Structure 1
């Protein structure tokens, strides 16, 4: 079967990178008894251990979407889909724990970068007597573009002309703005509250905000009959290897 062009361009939210970092290398505390000079002592030591963060997810909907991420990454590796981020997404991951995962960033799928929605301006991200998040808040509050202001109202970041933006919602607005400007087809997120807010807002956006499960259902028919079968089988094998592992000893 001949290869077709990618069927969609997808911008991924920061939480997608977080939930795709499923494999963790940690040290587990163990106790053992040693004999030293004829006297026995109980001592602690630490051994390498591999954990699967999927086991920590209690919400079944969230767990299902986390499982689908690896299949979507396979679709990107197989060039059925193109995935994009903005460097602001990378900056957000700096403050998230556990991002240095052996799973690889988005399971090793290539992530292209979209340009800034407006010509880049100088900004400070570190230094001085401000925290990292304070610099980010300064950046988003300094943006006066009409479209960005509209999107801050859509996401709930706007709190009035005399008040600063709500940081998390302002970053959501900025990411959606990046996706719009780059003419993305989909905005992939596991922030279910954001999706509901966007759906209910009177402000419309050209990019469709979807969860992993929704994206899989939307794009599979575009692969064609044989392409869909091939994707489901190979995607399952790809996912089973990367997220189906059991917790165990050693770092693999």
Structure 2
């Protein structure tokens, strides 16, 4: 069997991990009655239930891209794409609800970790007198590298001289910087505002910022005719049970 060769390296934004965590195992409360010592009493019991977070998404574009994450994950599992994150992405997921998903992290797709853009530094990430978000902002605000400062202006994190950075946009700038320093081909995100800001900014990046739909449209032709046909069929078979399952009782 011929070895599959990856056609691109892709850096994953934090929201990709969030939107791929679709299957949740939860307990749902309901009222029931029992007979205890000849007296009927009302109690609350909890049933095991499986939920699908895709059903919560109302925006059709966002829902489409969330579904396509299954196809992109299969591209990584089959070796046609290589995915990467930085430790800072992992740290950001700590503050997100619902990340403990039966879907697995990015549907079980292998994810590699890139090196720091600058030499590793000692830092506090939790504990002490500040909240973790404040420590993150301290870390990002302390970076004086010229390229990172440029990227803070590109993403909108820079609020003016002497003013604090906007945390969310500063994180975006750092992630893009990590992708640049690691020679990534693409930066995969479902942050449509970031995509729009980067596309219209005067400062540019060599890393192509893509949404799931855009990335699939660009990379699938690179698999070759036969490779693309196989990928679409096998990727579809991989994706459907992972994103199209019905909610219901029990943990499946």
TM-score norm. by structure 2 comes to: 0.98
Q: State the Cα distance separating 1:43 from its structure 2 match.
A: 2.0
TM-score norm. by structure 1 comes to: 0.98
- The answer as to whether partners of 2:20 and 2:107 remain within 8 angstroms in 1 is yes
In 1, the alpha carbon distance for the partners of 2:239 and 2:41 equals 45
Query: What SS does the aligned partner of 1:11 have?
Result: strand
- The answer as to whether partners of 2:24 and 2:50 remain within 8 angstroms in 1 is yes
Aligned ranges for residues 175-186 of structure 1 at < 5 Å? 175-186=175-186
Partner of 2:11: 11
Partner of 2:135: 135
Partner of 2:153: 153
Deviations 1:147-192 (A, max 9, x none): 0000000000001121111000000000000000000000000000
Moved over 6 A (4+): none
Q: State the Cα distance separating 1:44 from its structure 2 match.
A: 1.5
Partner of 2:235: 235
Deviations 1:17-75 (A, max 9, x none): 00000000111111222223333223221011110000000000000000000110000
Partner of 1:92: 92
Query: What SS does the aligned partner of 2:196 have?
Result: helix
Partner of 1:103: 103
Q: State the Cα distance separating 1:5 from its structure 2 match.
A: 1.2
Aligned ranges for residues 170-249 of structure 1 at < 5 Å? 170-249=170-249
Q: State the Cα distance separating 1:141 from its structure 2 match.
A: 0.2
In 2, the alpha carbon distance for the partners of 1:81 and 1:17 equals 16
Partner of 1:23: 23
Unaligned runs of 5+ in 1: none
Partner of 1:75: 75
What is the RMSD of the two structures over their aligned residues, measured on CA atoms? 1.0
Query: What SS does the aligned partner of 2:98 have?
Result: coil
Aligned length: 252
Query: What SS does the aligned partner of 2:246 have?
Result: coil
Unaligned runs of 5+ in 2: none
**Larger deviation: 113-122 or 59-68?**
113-122
In 2, the alpha carbon distance for the partners of 1:98 and 1:191 equals 18
In 2, the alpha carbon distance for the partners of 1:26 and 1:4 equals 38
Q: Is residue 64 of structure 1 aligned with residue 78 of structure 2?
A: no
In 2, the alpha carbon distance for the partners of 1:6 and 1:155 equals 29
Partner of 1:42: 42
In 2, the alpha carbon distance for the partners of 1:32 and 1:135 equals 47
- The answer as to whether partners of 2:86 and 2:114 remain within 8 angstroms in 1 is yes
In 2, the alpha carbon distance for the partners of 1:36 and 1:84 equals 57
In 2, the alpha carbon distance for the partners of 1:38 and 1:111 equals 59
In 2, the alpha carbon distance for the partners of 1:42 and 1:91 equals 44
